[in-house]
Amino acid sequence: MVLEILFNQHLTSTLYAKFSMRYLFVLLSILTQLLPLRGNCYYKNIEVNQQANNRIDSLLQILNTPTDSYIMVVAHRGDWTNAPENSLQAIKNAIEIGVDILEIDVRFTKDKVPVVIHDKTLNRTTTGSGKISRFTLNDLKGIFLTDKHGKPTSHKIPTLDEALLLSKGKILINLDKCTMHLDKIVKHLYKTNTLNQIIIKKRDDFYKINLQKKCFKNRLIYIPQIIEKNKKLEHHTNKFIKKYKPLVFDINLTENDSLLLPLINKLKQNFCRIWVSTTANENVRNYNNREKSPNSETKWGWAIDFGANIIVTDEPKLLIEYLKEKKLRKNIHLKIQDEIIVKSSPAK
């Protein structure tokens, strides 16, 4: 009888211990998903390994370490000075140069296929004319991209899938012009397995929750944009920092603009990276008429003095060389093992 009681007590204790451990494991799993950890959504949008195994891991570690002296380079529409803007060749060039982040634009065809092109129409950058939304993907096969001088090339408008597959595992990607269609875009990110490379930015009303939730849910990198100083900006920014602990803020600076300097200092105190564009302007309409790139050592130095540690440029190769000379960029350029093949026409 005594042995039976002891056995039952032992069995009960064992079952209770197993149940407790299982319950604790489930509880920890739930908490891991819900806690607002920096760099993981609800900030789980960025996953960083202690040991970087590839170029994307390295770039995510740098993005996740704002105090690092490494200044990141963003190629505006790819390396468009040496290939048609937003072309596969411009993307390939940017990757081979060692650019950290690629900025490309997404539009939809008549048959709802996402393609990589900046303007709503074909007029400026292709041999065609008219709104892209009136052309099917098949229609676009007969249209060629033009270079920075407006001359036709052999390059075609790439699909988003082609651009993603070319960039997969090699470079972070800022997708522009797509926030209104993010649900559709996300399907292509899952399809190409490139979710961990994608950056989505939102302008002044960045504090509105809808887009943030979509980005966090799909583990996309969300970057709020501050276009101009206003009375409510500081309040919204402070609230956003406290709640979401963002990694980066995109600041629209103009020369001799000191209004945003106190805000930049506050952001850096909160370990945020500062993203600044040094392109001709944020709404470039005609590259063909520009005789000389606006990017210069003076402009890059000015941006850095203001606190920028992510710089958007039309001259990525020159900027990388400049940063290396200034010892503001350690070499993490991973040798790309796979041959990069640029197709001459969109995939069906």
Please indicate, yes or no, if residue 41 is contained in any of the structural domains: no
The candidate with the shortest Cα–Cα distance to 313, out of 271, 59, 302, 336, is: 302
Query: In the 8-state DSSP scheme, what is residue 157?
Result: P
Q: Is the domain of 290 the same as that of 154?
A: yes
Give 45's pLDDT tier (boundaries 50, 70, 90).
very low
Confidence at residue 4, expressed as pLDDT on a 0 to 100 scale:
54
Q: What is the mean pLDDT of residues 139-157?
A: 96
Q: Which of 216 and 250 is assigned the larger pLDDT?
A: 250
> In this structure, are 69 and 17 located in the same domain?
no
36 — pLDDT class (breaks 50, 70, 90): very low
Distances (CA, A) of 184 to 36, 54, 194: 26, 28, 14
Q: Is 141 found in the same domain as 86?
A: yes
Residue 282 vs residue 221, higher pLDDT: 221
Q: Are residues 19 and 67 in the same domain?
A: no
Distance of CA 321 to the CA centre of its chain: 22
Q: Tell me how crowded residue 193 is: count the other CB atoms within 10 A of its CB.
A: 12
Q: Which tokens belong to 135? A: 């052309």
**Is residue 68 one of the residues assigned to a domain?**
yes
Tell me: do 278 and 129 sit in the same domain: yes
Q: Where is 234: in which H helix or E strand?
A: helix 233-244
3-state SS assignment for residue 72:
strand
Kindly state the tokens that stand for 103: 């900025």
333 in a domain, yes or no?
no
Mean pLDDT, rounded, for 317-343: 72
C-beta separation of 88 from 163 below 8 A: yes
The domain that holds 244 is classified in CATH as 3.20.20.190
Statement to judge: residues 133 and 25 lie in one domain: no
Q: How many helices (H) and strands (E) does the chain have?
A: 11, 9
pTM over 0.75: yes
Residue 246 is predicted with a pLDDT of 86
**Segments forming the whole domain that contains residue 5:** 1-34
pLDDT of the residue at 10: 54
Q: Is the dihedral of CA 231, 233, 236, 237 positive or negative?
A: negative
Residues comprising the chain, all counted = 348
**Mean per-residue pLDDT, 76-97:** 97
Could you tell me if 250 and 275 are in contact, meaning their C-beta atoms sit under 8 angstroms apart?
Answer: yes
Closest CA to 191 of 347, 34, 33: 347
Q: Do 307 and 253 sit in the same domain of this protein?
A: yes
Q: b or e along 97-131 (b: 16 or more beta carbons within 10 Å of the residue's beta carbon)?
A: bbbbbbbbbbbbbeeebbbbbbbebbebbbebeee
Are both 278 and 249 inside the same structural domain? Answer: yes
Considering only residues 271 and 199, tell me which one the structure prediction assigns the higher pLDDT: 199
Which helix H or strand E contains 221, and what residues bound it? strand 221-226
pLDDT tens for residues 159-180?
999 999 999 999 999 999 988 8
**Lowest-confidence range among 4-18, 55-69, 104-118, 274-288?**
4-18
Within 13 Å, how many C-alpha atoms sit on residue 280's CB side?
A: 13
3-state secondary structure 86-144: CCHHHHHHHHHHCCCEEEEEEEECCCCCEEECCCCECCCCECCCCEHHHCCHHHHCCCC
Shared domain for 300 and 266, answered yes or no, is yes
Supply φ then ψ for residue 82, to 5 degrees. Answer: -115, 5
Structural domain tally of the chain?
2
- pLDDT value of residue 255: 59
Residue 138, number of CB atoms within 10 A of its CB: 13
Q: How far apart are CA 28 and CA 71, in angstroms?
A: 36
**Domain assignment of residue 341, yes or no:** no
**Beta strands at 114-116 and 101-108: parallel, antiparallel or unpaired:** antiparallel
User: In this structure, is residue 255 part of a structural domain?
Assistant: yes
Residues 20 and 166 in one domain: no
Rounded CA-CA distance 329/314 in Å is: 18
Query: 3-state class of 150 per DSSP?
Result: coil
230 lies in some domain: yes
Phi/psi zone of residue 47: left (φ > 0), alpha (ψ -120 to 50 degrees), beta?
beta
Question: Within this chain, do residues 116 and 7 fall inside the same structural domain, yes or no?
Answer: no
Say how far apart CA 54 and CA 59 lie, in whole Å: 9
Answer whether residue 72 is part of any domain: yes
Within a domain: 340: no
8-17, 132-141, 207-216 — which one is most confidently predicted on average?
132-141
